[in-house]
Amino acid sequence: DHIHVFAPATVANMICGFDILGFALEEPGDEVIMRKTSVPGVVITKITGDDGRLPMDADKNTVSACVQFLLQHLELEDRVGVEIELHKHMPIGSGLGSSAASTVAGLFAINKMLGDPLSKEELLPFCVEGERLACGHGHADNVAPSLFGGITLIRGHDPLDLIPLPVPEELVAAVVFPQVDVPTRDARQLIKEKVLLKDAVIQWGNIAGLVAGLFKNDYDLISRSMQDVLIEPTRAILIPQFYEMKQIALENGALSFGISGSGPSVVAITRDKAMAKQIVEQIKAHLAESEIESYGYVSGV
């Protein structure tokens, strides 16, 4: 009588690919439990793990708003009623695709409940709409990997052109969330609208190199390519101890280090779980010295 869906956290941008690349983590992730009701309409009955920050009002909550939107699209809003429980297992505004995971879980659940009228590809634009509601911009680089898993490329947003990429077996992500709030909306306003051609050349070389590295299983090429000259210099200002954390990761042998999504979470890419664990521990200890609380996650890509 109910549907229980888990949707994973994601690392958008994959360091070099602002708004176009992203990958899913194994954990953390958000859960949605959806039940059918006899009264038409969408209600939120419970939210946990959000420190009371998310609206219970079904029109204002992104998850229920997206579910309503999908029901309207299918012309079912007068006939279908659901209750939604949302269980958040990751911090909001952390750069781990928190809003995306909730939206994907909610939309996947309603689609399942209705007998899968839409394919995952058809569901994706509704998830993107959720991102627009949550942060004012409809980027797909969190929702796509959360919905499809693995590594995804969004070649274009209009129309959405999604390309799943190969995932080299040994990639492990070490993620640390320093507990400061950086809303995506703010982190997007900060970045410059214009870029220099010489920087753009470096960046698209890196993106092409990363995609080639994923196809060739070439970890050196992946390492050389996962660098960001466009966004990181500006956004790093919002992240305490960013360059110190980078130094720790690279000294411990990480292939690459950068901002996860719009931050403040950071991500180190490694080939080794033990190395990833060590990086998380050392970064957390370093942040603790500056009295910054943090969460760490180690996950396969």
Residue with smaller CB distance to ligand HSE, 213 or 261: 261
> CA separation (Å) from 13 to 10, 20, 154, 266, 274?
10, 6, 10, 12, 25
Residue with smaller CB distance to ligand HSE, 42 or 101: 101
b/e string for 223-238 if b means 16 or more Cβ within 10 A? bbbbbbbbbbeebbeb
Residues 246-275: x/- map of binding to ligand HSE (CB under 6 A)?
A: ---------------xx-------------
Question: Shortest distance, CB of residue 126 to ligand HSE, whole angstroms?
Answer: 18
Residue with smaller CB distance to ligand HSE, 142 or 278: 142
Report whether 190 contacts 231 (CB < 8 A).
Answer: no
CA 274 to chain centre: 24
84-92, 135-143, 239-247, 277-285 -> range binding ligand HSE (CB under 6 A)? 135-143
Q: Which residues ranging from 58 to 117 are in contact with ligand HSE (CB under 6 A)? A: 95, 97
In three-state secondary structure terms, 163 is strand
Interaction between residue 30 and ligand HSE (CB under 6 A): no
Interaction between residue 278 and ligand HSE (CB under 6 A): no
The two tokens of residue 38 are 């006899």
Pairing of strands 81-87, 21-37: antiparallel
Q: Which residues does residue 244 pair with via DSSP β-bridges, in sequence order?
A: none
112 CB neighbour count, 10 Å cutoff: 13
The two tokens of residue 140 are 């797909």
Binding residue count for ligand HSE, defined by CB under 6 A: 14
**Residue 230 per-residue DSSP state:** S
CA–CA gap between residue 72 and residue 91 (Å, rounded): 30
* Interacting residue with ligand HSE among 73, 157, 188, 277 (CB under 6 A): 188
In three-state secondary structure terms, 299 is strand
Interaction between residue 142 and ligand HSE (CB under 6 A): yes
Question: Shortest distance, CB of residue 183 to ligand HSE, whole angstroms?
Answer: 10
Question: Shortest distance, CB of residue 132 to ligand HSE, whole angstroms?
Answer: 12
54-62, 184-192, 203-211, 282-290 -> range binding ligand HSE (CB under 6 A)? 184-192
Pairing of strands 172-178, 81-87: unpaired
Interaction between residue 130 and ligand HSE (CB under 6 A): no
* Interacting residue with ligand HSE among 9, 12, 101, 182 (CB under 6 A): 12
The two tokens of residue 89 are 């297992």
* Interacting residue with ligand HSE among 139, 246, 284, 286 (CB under 6 A): 139
The residue assigned the tokens 């309603």 is: 110
Question: Shortest distance, CB of residue 225 to ligand HSE, whole angstroms?
Answer: 18
Annotated binding site for ATP: 91-101
Tell me which residues touch ligand HSE (CB under 6 A).
12-13, 18-19, 95, 97, 139, 141-142, 184, 187-188, 261-262
